[in-house]
Structure 1
């Protein structure tokens, strides 16, 4: 290991130097803070022993050294005769990792170095894991972008908002029209995040777009997606989803809900007139024989908006551990605001509730303005 000794006292440096060289380490010496900074930057040591240096920044010295190697773990040990516990605590709090005090014990120094070598190995493994995870996130993001690009441009009457629990939102929101102009919409929430969600999103979107463009109904689409995901995904992986079909004149609605919160039908006074709760298993949980593809239908009549959302919205927690819940959603709808801004009302309610906190799960919210959908 390459080790830097920085101390104004030559005899102290040389004593520590001999001990380290006996154990096969490559030793660098610096007699001033200026020399220490140059040596650290030029030679990139893997560990540093930091003693008293007249021109150093005191407590901040360890942190200043570490700042020269932001992507590496370089332990800094104080070699000091300071016996004041408060002073030692300040050094450790400012960035030092440990300390040794004279007279130096070869056995103790050897044990401390071995311990930090183990920590450095853990850091290397963590960095490798981080790099692999970043690659998987980029791949998953690319896959979700590919899915998104398959759908047509989002029309004015569909408003969509997401808030990711991680690097990006893994919920799936896609829509397409049938040849006879029925509008099909799917909101899907896959178990897991990143690549785990992207693996299921690709076949789900392929089936949805292909079957919608051929004129199949949402109950047939749900069955085919379930069949595919059940074969493809391992046990415990599935997609909670709502599929909605709106007639060309926006007069009739068909809904299949498997595992998502209730689909809400809102009137012109922002009152929830009807809810379609989940009555089916999520997609991919059971095989074709046990799957219920039946859907519910209703007349839209006085309905102005349809609201779909993932469970991340109602399960969002504030700093006190309180959930936003259905009552939070209903309260957001009662806030005064311009017509046609239902999504913004709910979105603002969630953001205000979280107060800067990141949600524990991805949040997806979809609002369909039926008055503009015809």
Structure 2
């Protein structure tokens, strides 16, 4: 310890100094009360050994002044005096002394008293350390901490409270807590506390709720408040934890605005898609698709399909049919094939040849489609009177001619580029001529059919198609293919548009 030893007798003072240093303490010396008070304020000792009878200022007055100047911490004072009457002991304790030892000094007793005082000082230091740790934690909490008494008076706040509510340091303690509360609760807050004192029913204790808080300038902001109650030194206190949620509220508002915008956008998109679907259906579902010789199915990967099928009979009785597959899928692919439909039906009505139809379709798509967009197609023309036909395949899988038993008797390979890639001059538009036996059928399909994968990642493939056709009658063949594809996909969703067309050759 750092010990201040005070005695006007230099011999006594020297003896004390030797004794204290032998015990391992640091010693500060003073020869009168006035010097003792001065050295006490300058050195801040841990303990004082103080003589009573001294010149200039006696020990009683020196003790009183030391205690008055050291209110923030306890520094024990032990009087050392030849005065041993009871009234001297009482006067010394009243002056602020913590113990009393008569002269001549019993150094064994003094050593024991020093050890006792040192233990007490160690406990005091531990308390100070704990308090500093708690203070550091409180000062660095980002949320506001406000402690009030039962009357609503603010006892203490942390720095975050002063920053959050924009009060200067030290201005809030002593004020009514309603200075942090806007109307109408500002005027009612004292009544809330009075009712709680009477009923002891706290609706806000132990839970967090959202409230409105008020800064010193009167501006109001949203916050959360959690209140707990403690009993300290027989005094009931309330501790409020306040969190500014202005940023959270702003983020929530922004999210709601975004959600409303998304909802509006979604509704507009849905409305536009419904209109687009009605327009597409009007273009797709023409009278020619109801021909009894035709069996078809289109399965879109999304709401719209980039695969289309079309059929029409010319004024001269020739039957035209088209299966087309645009790049990609969805609405953009569906839009890409609309010009193909319009051109196909107009040219079929004029009984144009397959070659002319292919050339015109290619040129129109080349001029209208952006780079990287094209349309694979299979186009056929059947003349029932001669049992002959023409077929052109470009960019779609090979077309098949199957006999009555479902066996492939001829394959029409996909040897041409899709429509919309090359200009007219280098583009191959010559169809392939063919004839058929009774009860034959043409099978046309897009790559989405053969590439359809099941849950195990296996493709339906050309094998799946031929297996489904073999041994079937012309009447049941389409349903058999359709059933085999459904069984293959099971719960899986096809990654691409699927189109299938089976055409009876009379």
TM-score normalized with structure 2 length: 0.52
Distance 2:285 2:214 in 1: 60
| Aligned match of 2:204 | 10
Aligned equivalent of 1:66? none
CA 1:104 to 1:293, structure 2 compared with 1: closer, same or farther past 3 Å? farther
Q: Equivalent residue of 2:348, what SS?
A: helix
1:245 is matched with which residue? 381
Structure 1 position 154 matched with structure 2 position 290:
yes
Asked if structure 2 preserves the Cα contact closer than 8 Å seen for 1:139 and 1:195, the reply is no
What corresponds to 1:361 in structure 2? 496
Say which SS state the counterpart of residue 210 (structure 2) adopts. helix
Quote the Cα distance in structure 2 between the aligned partners of 1:257 and 1:179. 24
**SS of residue paired to 1:307:** strand
The structure-2 alpha-carbon separation of the partners of 1:19 and 1:314, relative to structure 1 and needing over 3 Å to count, comes to: farther
Residues 7-43 of structure 1 deviation map (CA, whole Å, 9 limit, x = unaligned): x943467753135997645x9xxxxxxxxxxxxxxxx
Instruction: Go from structure 1 to structure 2 and tell me whether the alpha carbon gap of 1:339 and 1:252 turns closer, same or farther (over 3 Å shift).
Output: closer
1:90 aligns to what? Answer: none
The one of the two structures with greater contact order (alpha-carbon pairs below 8 A, sep at least 6) is 1
Conservation of the 8 A alpha-carbon contact between 1:250 and 1:370? no
Q: Does 1:305 align with 2:441?
A: yes
1:302-343 deviation digits (Å, cap 9, x = unpaired)? 661100111111111111222111111122123x65551111
Separation in 1, partners of 2:246, 2:324: 56
- Residue by residue, what CA displacement relative to the aligned partner does 1:71-117 show, whole Å, maximum 9, x if unpaired? xxxxxxxx9xxxxxxxxxxxxxxxxxxxxxx986625x455545555
Task: For residue 361 of structure 1, give the secondary structure of its aligned residue in structure 2.
Answer: coil
Are 1:218 and 1:243, in contact at CA under 8 Å, matched by a contact in 2?
A: yes
Cα distance in 2 for residues equivalent to 1:235 and 1:134: 29
Query: Aligned equivalents of 1:181 and 1:20: distance in 2?
Result: 87
1: CA distance, partners of 2:213 / 2:450: 62
What is the correspondence of 1:65-144 to structure 2 with a 5 Å cutoff? 106=243, 109-110=245-246, 112-117=248-253, 119-120=255-256, 122-144=258-280
Residue correspondences, number = 291
C-alpha change, 1:23 and 1:137, in structure 2 (3 Å) is: farther
CA deviations 1:199-243 (Å, max 9, x no partner) are: 333322221122112121111111111111111121222211110
Q: For residues 23 and 247 of structure 1, do their structure 2 counterparts lie closer, same or farther at Cα, with a shift above 3 Å needed?
A: farther
2:303, 2:290 → 1: CA distance?
23
Match status 1:352 vs 2:487: yes
CA distance in 2: counterparts of 1:103 and 1:267, whole angstroms: 88
Change (3 A) 1:105 1:244: farther
**In the aligned structure 1, how far is the partner of 2:443 from the partner of 2:386?**
15
Deviation at 1:257, TM superposition (A): 0.9
Give the conservation status (yes or no) of the 8 Å contact 1:141–1:194.
Answer: no
Could you say which residue in structure 2 is the equivalent of 1:4?
none
Aligned partner of 1:228 among 364, 380, 393 = 364
Alignment partner of 2:346 out of 195, 210, 225: 210
Give the Cα separation in 2 of the matches to 1:284 and 1:235: 9
* Deviation at residue 245 of structure 1 after TM alignment: 0.8
CA 1:24 to 1:233, structure 2 compared with 1: closer, same or farther past 3 Å? Answer: farther
Write out per-residue CA displacement over residues 158-183 of structure 1, whole angstroms, 9 at most, x where no aligned residue: 11112221224342211112232221
Which residue, out of 465, 470, 476, partners 1:341?
476
In the aligned structure 2, how far is the partner of 1:110 from the partner of 1:228?
59
Could you tell me which of 258, 275, 285 is aligned with 2:411? 275
Unpaired runs of 5+ residues, structure 1, are 1-7, 28-48, 50-78, 80-101
Q: Is the Cα contact below 8 Å between 1:318 and 1:357 reproduced in 2? A: yes
C-alpha spacing 1:11/1:209, structure 2 compared with 1 (3 Å): same
CA distance in 2, matches of 1:250, 1:120: 69
**Higher CA-based Rg:** 2
Which residues of 2 match residues 130-209 of structure 1 at below 5 A? 130-152=266-288, 154-209=290-345
State the 1:130 CA deviation: 2.7
Q: Deviations over 1:32-81 (max 9, x none)?
A: xxxxxxxxxxxxxxxxx9xxxxxxxxxxxxxxxxxxxxxxxxxxxxx9xx
State the TM-score, normalizing by the size of structure 1: 0.68
Distance 1:135 1:159 in 2: 31
Q: CA RMSD in A?
A: 3.2
Q: Look up the match of 2:401.
A: 265
The DSSP-based 3-state class of the residue aligned with 1:284 is coil
**What per-residue deviation string (whole Å, max 9, x for no partner) do you get for residues 268-317 of structure 1?**
12111221121111111222233221111122236611001111111111
Worse overlay, 344-353 or 236-245 = 236-245
